[in-house]
Amino acid sequence: MSENPKRMGVPGATSCFNCQWRERSEWCVLDHEDVRILDDSKSSSQFKPGQVLFHQGDRCDGIYTVVSGTVAIRKSDIHGNTVLVRLRHEGETIGYRDFFTGSEYSTSAEALSPVTMCFVHRDAVQELLTHNPALGLGFLNQLGGDLKEAEEALLRTSRLSVRTRMAHLLLTLKDRYAEANDDGSLALRLPLSRQDIADILGTRAETVARTIHALEVDNVATFSGRNVIIPDLDSLLDEIELMDE
C-alpha cells in the first residue's frame, strides 16, 4: 500500500515516466516516445473536498485521471436536482465517455476527499490515439466495463429490494474502504452522505435511514454517522444470495 510514500507529493514533481498509476491505467500501453507526448501535455492539479472538477455542460477538452482520492460523478436534471451517478477512485479515468461521444460534459465531477488529478488535453489524446491503436482498445475496454456495470445496476434496481441493494453497495465499498479489525470484523468510513447513498440505490434518504436501522437490528452492520462496522461478512453476503452472475 505504500512502497512509495512520495506519490502524494507536489503534482508537478511527478513525471508520467515513473508514475505508478499510469502503469495500471489504459495509458500503460504507450511506448517511450508517446509517454513523452503525454508527459509534455498533461497537467495535474489538486482539489479540496467539495470542490468541483468540472460542471455538467462545460466543454469537454480532454480526459482526467484520478491520481489519488475519491471523485463523485453527479448528474442534474432541468429542475436542478442532482443525483450521484457513480464514484471514481485512484487510477481510474474520468470524462472519457463525453470525450468520445459529445463535446460537453453530461455530468459534473466533485472531489469527495482531497484529490489529485491529471488532465490530458484533447489534442494529445487525439495524437496518441492515432499513434497507438492499443490505446483506443484500452478505452474501449474501460467503456465496456462501465456499460457492464450500468446494465447490472439496472437489473439490480428493478428486481432487488432496497435492503439487498444496500447490502450490495456495502459489499462493493468494503473492497476499497474497509479495514479488518483484530476481532475479525470490518470497519469502514463511507465517502457518501445518506442522500448520495439514496441516489446510488435509486431510492430516498428516508428509506436509506430505515434500511440502515433494519440492518442494525439484524446485526448485519452497525452505523454511526459515516462509520460502519460489519461484524460478520457472511451475514452481509447472505443478504445477497439472489444475484445473477
Partner DNA sequence: CGGGGGTTTGAGTCCGTTCAAAATACGTGG
Partner DNA sequence: CCACGTATTTTGAACGGACTCAAACCCCCG
Binding site for its own copies (CB under 8 A): 75-78, 83, 85, 97-98, 100-101, 106, 129-130, 133, 136-137, 139-141, 143-148, 150-151, 153-155, 157-159, 202-203, 243-245
Neighbours of 93 (CB within 10 A): 22
Which one among 100, 121, 210, 235 touches DNA, defined by CB under 7 A? 210
* Residue 77, C-alpha cell as written in the block: 436534471
Within residues 225-244, the interface with DNA by CB under 7 A covers 225-226
State in angstroms the smallest separation of the CB of 160 from its own copies: 11
Binding residue (CB under 7 A) for DNA from 87, 111, 162, 186: 162
Q: Considering the complex, state which of residue 115 and residue 212 has its C-beta at the smaller distance from DNA.
A: 212
- In this structure, are strands 179-180 and 93-94 parallel, antiparallel, or unpaired? unpaired
Task: Indicate the helix (H) or strand (E) that contains 3.
Answer: none
- When asked if residue 205 is in the footprint of DNA (CB under 7 A), the reply is yes
**CB of 86 vs DNA, minimal distance in Å:** 18
Q: Which residues, in sequence order, are CB contacts of 60 under 8 Å at separation 6+?
A: 54, 95, 98, 99, 102, 103, 104, 105, 122
Q: Which of residues 81-120 bind DNA (CB under 7 A)?
A: none
- Residue 204's binding partner, choosing from DNA, its own copies, none, with beta-carbon cut-off 5 to 8 A by kind? DNA
Phi, psi (rounded to 5 degrees) for 225: 65, -125
Nearest-angstrom CA–CA distance, 95 and 65? 9
Size of the site for DNA (CB under 7 A): 21
In this chain, which of 65, 203, 215, 228 binds DNA, going by CB under 7 A? 203
* Partner from its own copies, DNA, none contacting 180, C-beta within 5 to 8 A by type: none
User: Strand 71-76's sheet: what is its strand order?
Assistant: 52-54, 108-111, 71-76, 82-88
| 29 is a contact residue toward DNA (CB under 7 A) | no
75 binds, among its own copies, DNA, none (CB under 5 to 8 A by kind): its own copies
* Closest CB 76 distance from its own copies, rounded Å: 8
- Helices 233-240 and 162-177 cross at an angle (nearest 10°) of 140
- In this structure, are residues 2 and 115 in contact, taking their beta carbons and an 8 Å threshold? no
Q: Would you state the cell numbers that stand for residue 105, as one nine-digit string?
A: 460534459
**Does 189 participate in binding DNA (rule CB under 7 A)?**
no
> With respect to DNA, which residue has the nearer C-beta, 171 or 209?
209
C-beta of 225: minimal distance to DNA in Å? 5
The residue type of 235 is S
39 burial (CB, 10 Å; 0-12 / 13-18 / 19+) is middle
185 exposure class (CB count in 10 Å sphere: 0-12, 13-18, 19+): middle
Please give the residue ranges that form the binding site for DNA (CB under 7 A): 161-163, 193-195, 202-213, 223, 225-226
